[in-house]
Structure 1
Amino acid sequence: MDTRFPFVDWFRNSSPYINAHRGRTFVILIEGEAMARGRSEQLIQDLALLHTLGVRLVVVFGIRPQVELALKAAGIAPKHHQGRWVADPAIMACVERTAAEQRLWLEARLSLGLPNTPLHGVELTAVSGNLVMAKPLGVREGIDFHHSGEVRRVRAAAIEGLLEKRSLVVLPPLGFSSTGEVFDLDASEVAQHAAMALGADKLILLGEASGLYDHSGQLQRQLTPADAEPLLRQADPGSELARHLGAACAAARHGVARTHLISWHDHNALLGELFTRDGVGTMITQHRYEQLRPAELGDIGGLLELLEPLEHRGMLVPRSRERLEHEIDDYLVIERDGMVIGCAALHTFSDAEMAELACVAVHDDYRGGARGELLLAEIERRARRLGLTALFALTTHTTHWFFEHGFRLADIDALPPLKRDTYNHARKSKILVKPLA
């Protein structure tokens, strides 16, 4: 490899991401500590670069350290409760002033276009406004929070309109009420709700830590909300970890494809996370390596591999590739990282209000995880949507599993006429029926 121009290799490797991010919506939270510690200049340059690459940007900024410094200078000691300060009128006046100062400073830096700066030639229009509606926290545990609030809604249509005009939207940690009041908000909550309302492709949270670590000190590259929530329960209320994890988990569960936890201490964190294969922080995503879904023709090979051992043991009737292709719309599969590890089928009969639960199978390596129950529950939902009144199953090996899930023995007369006529008396399969109440 030619080491004279290492950036060339980096550029080649990042090109797929440049294309993938174009036209996407990113909500980026910059905590107040980054601005207070002089790290914002590099971040602003990186934001400008993302803008030139066609990324639609919503930037949320925090002001906690700036407000604390201003309160200290004014001799005001804020009262804290449940991880939030109580924004009485004196504190709220300081919050409003600080938020306005930080917004103006940020917009001024985003307007910088001198020839000797990375922003030279970049037309970047930064827009803010009453884009977040809020409501008061009210009185909690006997404490009146005054002007401390929480997000009621984000004006997504207005923000979308600004993004369509190639504006960069700036959101301070403030919200407005229909009665004309202003409320102090948590910046991570603003970012979370903005990402959810916009259906953002990414929520990026820039904080102190460079991600989440396990007990051995290893950086966790990817977690689901379920993986992250134990850490959230252990975090101190109001801490950055609690605020960021809470926002990340909620956003992931409400349609935001990916949330990234990275550190503003690292000058390369933002671009490194977005344009390298492994990233530099922790990503939280609802995407699971295992999912239940309708089967597709591309699953035929996986179904054959799953069913063949069970057919050899006499647990299932052999099914040819042609038969599976013909009946593929009847099947559900559980896919784990590209492998079919479970399946079930619902075969309906035009002359009956009952259907057959068939081909319930789970790979030997993945039994014991309630996957059979998951398949049965989805088959029952599918049957009810079709207006069916009962399910029946034929089995030679797993009678007790069906008993445990509401099936009862029946005789051949309980079967639909077509199934009754094709019943294989040589197999002597048990007939089980479950009403769908």
Structure 2
Amino acid sequence: MREFTLAKLLTIIGLSLFLLSSCIPQEQVEYVHVSPDKLTKGPVVWNGSVTVTSSESWHMTPIGNTDWCTVYPDKGVEGTTTVAIQIEALPHVSPRIAIYEIKTTSGLKRTLTIEQKDVEGDEYYFYFQDDPALSFSVSSFDVQPIRLSVLTNVDDWTASVSSDAGDWLIVEQTEDSLLISVTDIDEPKGREGVVTAVAGGSLNKILTFSQKGLHEYGAPTRNFSLSMPNVPDSELFFKDVYSKSRITLLFIWGSWCPGCTNFIPLVKQLHEEFKSHGLKIYGVALEEEGKEQDFLDSLNDNGLLDVDETTSDDIWWKNRPVFSPLEERKINYFTKMFYGDKLLTGEVKNFLPAFFFVDAGGFIIRTYTEPYPLNTQERIKSLYNDLRLFLSRQLECCGG
């Protein structure tokens, strides 16, 4: 009986100890691991991943500038999570570092460090076939698209246009080429723009483009033709004039413009003095539609229809009219060729008379298009002296 009581007591004590131990919380070990916790990559676009293994929920917080790095997802729960990482191309040769802190709900912390740096040597390459010059000076209009063949082992590269040239430089990118299109310039002043091909770091290529304004030295002019009203076979091409001279003056005027008619005697003096040295003049009169006779009367009144009594040749230069409605007399298809589309917006204005000097190839060598009111003899003489000095120096004659 005594032995039974002892056994029973031992059993009770054992059960009590078991129950007591089950009520005491067991110590749990929390953890979070990142693998790998450091990445070092080259200058090109990279896509990859790391894994986060944790005993509890976690979230990821960037430290500093990580705009060039994308991670997803940036939070997770207990277990193993694959985090996708995308790295943009390095825009320069200086290295950069992105740091992310991974923190669990209990406060455990780990870091993920991503370093990107330029890579020297032959690991990556990016260049244009035939190694063209990276600076382009293009014509004012009718520019043929420029196609550059690309040789590279970089999987992902991009091309972009500088913000100040987005309206006239257009890029199209394929896997192995870059096509740059250039629109016609629409103003007297020139412009510059940049196309950047980004493959990463020292692999980036910068292409600069400059385009001459319509009034700048060396800018081409368009070949146009004009005719006299109701006169058969009177069509006159601009090229037929400038190609047969050393310098051609395109004289834009109007019979309704007092400053123009006041200056015609001075243009005659220039013609007389410099015609034997290679100067020719093409006169274009901007006239109002329906006033053809006013134009002809102005030619006659100013002696511009005079002919040599011996040879029957014209004494003065050829003049041709451009007839337009009154509201388009100074802004029309003809003036747009020499001033651009910005005439329509008022950003650019044309004033008469205007003087465009071109060489034997039809390229601009000088313009006088400023708003000089020719309402006094002093102003008329001042402009004449400027024109004469320019011609005498260009033609190396007449006291120049």
TM-score w.r.t. length of structure 2 = 0.25
Normalized per residue, which structure has more helix?
A: 1
Specify the structure having the higher radius of gyration (Cα): 2
TM-score w.r.t. length of structure 1 = 0.23
